[in-house]
Structure 1
Amino acid sequence: MANTPQSKKRARQNERRQAVNKARRSRIRTFLRKVEEAIASGNRELATAALRAAQPELFRGVTKGVLHKNTAARKMSRLAQRVKALEA
């Protein structure tokens, strides 16, 4: 348990940041799920649109410190590869 005023404040700040980060992570996952569903449906136009919508959300997570840069790049690359494969 936090004892000093500074550690009590840090605990409060950490709780607030955790809530914000959790919401941001959830939002990113929602966008990624929409891309996955579009790919599963086989609709290339829908999948491309969903991917374009997901990209800024994913990289916003990087700038906000929720995701690592390489993680976002890897997810984007793999999704783009799967969307591109729909045309074949």
Structure 2
Amino acid sequence: MNIKDQYPNLTNFFEAYIHEADLDGFASDEEVAQQYAVTESSFARSRVIEQGRALLLESSFPWEQIGDKTNRDFQDEQNTRQWLQKLIEIIVSGAAI
């Protein structure tokens, strides 16, 4: 599976927002997700949320690809799933503010 082909909006979020978040002055990925939730359009947010949820349902979860796209060194699949779930929850709740 190539996540860029199957989940283009989510991959764009990873590459554009998460990949170098520390260099952009963000203290955490959660802070990036909060900022994304309040600055991006509802359409962009809904696509990222939809694709994130769909990716979480994949039985063959591409956690190493996610690590590559985000420049993060995840320990394992479970750790990566938890991280992604948390970011999706932040985007969902942050968009409701």
Q: What TM-score does the superposition give when structure 2 sets the normalisation length?
A: 0.42
The structure with the largest helix share of the pair is: 1
Q: What TM-score does the superposition give when structure 1 sets the normalisation length?
A: 0.44
Greater length-normalized contact order (CA 8 Å, ≥ 6 residues apart)? 2
